[in-house]
Amino acid sequence: MFDNDVRSSIRAKIRPFPRVATYPTGWAGQRTFEQIYDDLIPSFNRLLRYYRNHELDIPDLIAHAFMRLWMDISADISMLAAVDKGGALKLLLNRTNPQLYRKFYRREMYLEDIATRSGDPDDFIIDGFDHSHIIGHATYAEAIELRVDIEKVITEMAEKYMDSLPHLAALYYITTEVGPDDAAAIAGRSGTKKCWWLTSVVKPMREELCEKLELFKPRQETWRDRHLAGVEAPLLRLVARYEAEGNLRMAATVQSMGAYESCKTLVERLGLSKYTIHMLRRNAHKELNRVYGCAIQ
């Protein structure tokens, strides 16, 4: 009786082997290799072009990298469990081995050498049959992939915010040429509520859309960035110039900003109105950006 119970318990725990293998990932849980490929291929394609790999090699590099990734995760199924998409892309890039294709598959040969060993060079280049690569096709394919990515992300966000009219109107406003007034009216946030809708709904939606598409706006460097990095000479020279001119207010304002003091502290020290302090700080910001060689903020 006991043996039968043990056998039944063991049989109950047996599960059929899955017909399609799945692997744990850090960005979407269990995924088949086909789904992993679909998740990574758009960004991986763009990365290979960003690193200026030859267009002719990119299909081979993609196939080579995914083949090696499949071999590695087959040996260690938890390989992707702790990495996000960015980490998975790094693993793929490490498996492309572009030097192999540059060294062995595209060796330069002079036509004179070919002719010496093999006859007439014209035999190797026949009009209409030479293998020419059309760069325009790659540009078109990349544009199509980007459009597919955009449509996919818009669909995902629309499904996510299906029950929120203000968010759907924000998505409509971001992705079309509709004006802010009309979009706010659709969202039911016209009039005095439009500013709140633009800052509290539209701005986060735009940031989320850029994050999903991996589009990040470069941030301009300011004088604060360079000052925090240890570059103090321009600020000290500006303070010395104001002191030499007898403009003690601006000298004190620049010193206060260099020490990252608040407006309230400067108001109490100089005994001036908050309006005057704001004006002094605004002028100091412009002058500091100028002497540090940064764009005016």
- The pLDDT of residue 171: 87
Q: List all residues 6 or more positions away from 193 whose beta carbon is below 8 Å from its beta carbon.
A: 184
- The pLDDT of residue 25: 92
Of 85-99, 138-152, 184-198, 239-253, least confident by mean pLDDT is: 138-152
Of 8-17, 271-280, 286-295, least confident by mean pLDDT is: 8-17
Q: Is the pLDDT of residue 216 over 80?
A: no
- The pLDDT of residue 240: 92
**pTM, rounded to two decimals:** 0.33
Q: List all residues 6 or more positions away from 86 whose beta carbon is below 8 Å from its beta carbon.
A: none
Cα–Cα distance, 122 to 129 (Å, whole number): 12
Cα–Cα distance, 260 to 264 (Å, whole number): 12
pLDDT category at 124 given cuts 50, 70, 90 is very low
CA angle (252 as vertex; 249, 256 as ends), nearest 5: 135
Higher-confidence position of 110 and 160: 160
Cα–Cα distance, 216 to 199 (Å, whole number): 19
Q: List all residues 6 or more positions away from 238 whose beta carbon is below 8 Å from its beta carbon.
A: 254, 287, 288, 291
Q: Is the pLDDT of residue 285 over 50?
A: yes
pLDDT digits (tens, 9 = 90+) for 36-68: 999 999 888 888 888 877 777 788 888 888 988
Cα–Cα distance, 296 to 222 (Å, whole number): 8
Could you count the other beta carbons within 10 Å of the beta carbon of residue 164? 13
Among the residues of 223-273, which ranges form H helices? 223-228, 233-245, 248-258, 263-270
- The pLDDT of residue 218: 56
| Contact (Cβ atoms closer than 8 angstroms) between residue 152 and residue 158 | no
Q: Is the pLDDT of residue 105 over 50?
A: no
